[in-house]
Structure 1
Amino acid sequence: MNEAVILAAGCVLWRRSPESGGLEIALVHRPKYDDWSHPKGKLKRGEEAPAAAVREVAEETGMACRPGPELPSAHYEVNGRPKEVRYWAAEACGGTFTPNDEVDRVAWLSPAAARGRLTQDRDRPLIDALMAALRTA
């Protein structure tokens, strides 16, 4: 049964606004699904989840990041198969986004705006978890 679980990892990517110094969260737009989500993706064979999360951030946003505390995992079904996505808080530390087939836009938004833009309800609690993790860091 466990072999059927799709394993994925991602980050709630954040930075301080270059203009205001306020917290901004990066969301990615995937044209295939026409949705807004946190950067994430499936683990490659033999890959550890934290490494996959950092790789997915780089692939989807062009950003290098510094992972921090682990956030709650998401569990849901995709085409009848269970999927588990492990997430980390991660601070963006440089890079440039280049649109590609998988992700055509990245938006840096305030936590409230990011919460409103996310397509899936299950992604919203991750913003609260990030805020709590940053307060205790």
Structure 2
Amino acid sequence: MSGTVLAAGCVLWRRSPDGAGLEICLVHRPRYDDWSYPKGKLKRGETALEAALREVLEETGHHCLPGAVLPTATYTANGRPKEVSYWAAEAADGTFVPNDEVDRLAWLSPGSARARLSRPGDRVQLDAFLGTGPTDRTA
């Protein structure tokens, strides 16, 4: 697909601080006034997974542990086809610092995250994540 914009991101999750389930991380991008998963375009020579992990760190301030591959999103953005590869990823250490690209971050219950996502198509990745659940990384 010539001219396709390649990007990658993660459905970033953590165990709720109160121990009552999982929370999903969404970021707010003021440029688009939308809520989405941390994601961004691949840099030259970068694999999709490398880009996803870099984008999570840049946009959320958190390192993460990648898990299951989630469905790829394909849509048109600014008149060009876009393909975004996704992984489930457990949040590790880090601290969010607002910046020009991402001014807010929210940790939400899966239901609240599903409702807040700006692009209805992004629910596919959340639903797939919830179907697979947290991945076992003991292997």
Separation in 2 of the partners of 1:81 and 1:111?
30
- Count of residue correspondences: 136
TM-score normalised by length of structure 1: 0.95
Residue number in structure 2 paired with 1:37:
36
| Change in CA separation of 1:136 and 1:43 when aligned onto 2, cut-off 3 Å | closer
Partner of 1:125: 124
In the superposition, relative to structure 1, how do residues 66 and 135 fare at CA in structure 2: closer, same or farther (>3 Å)?
closer
- Contact 2:67/2:135 (8 A) holds in 1: no
Instruction: Give the TM-score, by structure 2 length.
Output: 0.94
How far does the alpha carbon of each residue in 1:37-86 deviate from its partner, in whole angstroms, 9 at most, with x for none? 00000000010000000000000000000000100000001121100000
SS at structure 2 position matched to 1:112: helix
**1:103-122 deviation per Cα after TM superposition (whole angstroms, max 9, x unaligned):** 00000000000000000001
Shift of 1:20: 3.2
CA deviations over 1:4-33 (Å, ceiling 9, x no partner): 000000000000011234100000000000
Query: Residue 50 in 1 paired to residue 17 in 2?
Result: no
Partner of 2:17: 18
Which moves more between the two structures, 5-14 or 20-29?
Answer: 20-29
Distance 2:12 2:81 in 1: 25
Cα separation, 1, equivalents of 2:38 and 2:134: 22
Amino acid aligned to 2:30: P
Q: CA deviation at 1:136?
A: 6.9
Alignment correspondent of 2:109: 110
Within 1, Cα distance between the matches of 2:78 and 2:60? 26
Which residue number corresponds to residue 98 of structure 1?
97
Query: What is the DSSP-based 3-state SS (H/G/I as helix, E as strand, rest coil) of the residue aligned with 2:133?
Result: helix
Amino acid paired to 1:131 = L
In structure 2, give the amino acid aligned to 1:70: V
Counterpart-to-counterpart distance in 1, 2:16 and 2:121:
25
Letter in 2 for 1:19: D
2:100 aligned counterpart, secondary structure: coil
Structure 1: tracts of 5 or more residues without a match? none
Counterparts of 2:58 and 2:127 in 1: how far apart (Å)? Answer: 25
Secondary structure in 1 aligned to 2:44?
Answer: coil
